[in-house]
Amino acid sequence: MKNPYIPLAMRAEKIIIETDDKNIKTFSLSFLNKAEESSFNYLPGQFVQLSVLGEGEAPFGIASSPTEPGVLEFTVNKTGVLTTALHNLEEGAIIGMRGPLGNCFPLELFTGKNIIIVGGGFAFTTLRSLVKYILYHENRSQFGNVTVIYGARRPGLLLYKDEFKQWEARPDLEVYLTVDKADDGWRGKVGVVPNIIKEVAPSPEDAYAVVCGPPIMIKFTLPVLRQLGFPPERTVLSMEMKMKCGIGKCGRCNIGNKYVCQAGPIFTLAQLNELSGEY
């Protein structure tokens, strides 16, 4: 049986700086051993453990979509030891990767439904995977209307700017970008994400809301969605906890009796409400 602790070797093909504070970079990784690529099957919402040997390992949501084979993308915010080590790497560097880990967005439940995707700050990574997956030409018809509401503190901190430009131009997708504080060139909305949701007021009919963002945004977003009529069963969240093993053994990422690394990271609000636990 395969040893689940051994990382695969990935090459950093491209590293781009996402934000003007240079604290967030997106890494495009390719498999060093192509045979390993074919057995790496993932869906939006899943994560991996990335390693810089000698520095350690940390979990990252997959930001690319399985509909674009060849590379895996990860967006990394420089906060701790490992993310700093990743940021110090140059293109061509070899990075360890274990995965895919965790569950994915409930794509089967999403089928035929309208989807409201709400993201904040740096937490748009697996949401990007989801958007790309839905927009893929073979998949698009399986889903209803798609609305994306994404905000950051200021324009310079928004991720994936070029892609958002393309998405804004598409007829089959509604995109609302917002910032807390605008600058001169800003053409989008101004205001925190929960307020923009109120303003856009997406209909809860036949719809799922998918939320991913900093704790403070989640805290104020959930009541808004509730008011709009999204029931907890159709409010989907992606959770983050400190993780080590990623395979439900090391014992730290539990919310109640569920390990976020195995039963999650994707939960409906209804599931979370049932799990009494710290998060």
Contacts with other proteins, 224-253, as mask; x by CB under 8 A: ----------------xxx-xx-xxxxxx-
**What's the full length of the chain, in residues?**
279
**Which of residues 141 and 276 has its CB atom nearest to other proteins in the complex?**
276
Closest distance between other proteins and the C-beta of residue 248, in Å?
7
Sign of CA dihedral 117, 123, 127, 132: positive
Per the CB < 8 A criterion, the answer to whether 162 and 191 are in contact is no
x/- map, 35-54, other proteins, by CB under 8 A: ----------------x-xx
Which tokens go with 34? Answer: 């192509």
Q: What is the amino acid identity at position 145?
A: N
The torsion region of residue 260 among left (phi > 0), alpha (psi -120 to 50) and beta comes to alpha
Shortest CB 256 distance to other proteins, Å = 7
257 lies in the binding site for other proteins (CB under 8 A): yes
Bridge partner list, 56: 52
Q: Please, which residue, 80 or 156, has the CB nearer to other proteins?
A: 80
Q: Is 33 in the site for other proteins (CB under 8 A)?
A: yes
Helix (H) or strand (E) holding 56: strand 56-61
DSSP 8-class letter at 82: H
Minimum distance from residue 221 beta carbon to other proteins (Å)? 18
Answer for which of 16, 32, 109, 270 binds other proteins (CB under 8 A) is 32
7 binds other proteins (CB under 8 A): yes
Stretch touching other proteins by CB under 8 A, among 3-11, 112-120, 123-131, 147-155: 3-11
Distances (CA, A) of 187 to 32, 60, 182, 183: 42, 31, 9, 9
Binds other proteins (CB under 8 A): choice among 13, 23, 37, 56:
56
Strands 146-152 and 174-179: parallel
Q: Give just the sign of the alpha carbon dihedral 136, 138, 143, 144.
A: positive
When the beta carbons of 55 and 174 are compared against other proteins, the nearer one is 55
- The span from the CA of 275 to the CA of 253, in Å, is 13
> Judged by CB under 8 A, does residue 276 bind other proteins?
yes
User: Contacting other proteins (CB under 8 A), which of 12, 24, 48, 58?
Assistant: 58
Residue closest to 158 by CA, chosen among 173, 177, 183: 177
152: its two tokens: 């950051």
Strands 24-31 and 114-120: unpaired
Nearest to 63 by CA among 48, 78, 53: 48
Q: Is 80 an interacting residue with respect to other proteins (CB under 8 A)?
A: yes
In the complex, minimum distance from the CB of residue 56 to other proteins, in angstroms, rounded to a whole number: 5
Q: Which of the stretches 82-90, 102-110, 177-185, 219-227 binds other proteins when contact is defined by CB under 8 A?
A: 82-90
> Nearer Cβ to other proteins, position 5 or 156?
5
Residues that bind other proteins (CB under 8 A): 1, 3-7, 9, 32-33, 51, 53-58, 79-84, 94, 96, 215, 240-242, 244-245, 247-252, 254, 256-257, 262, 276-279
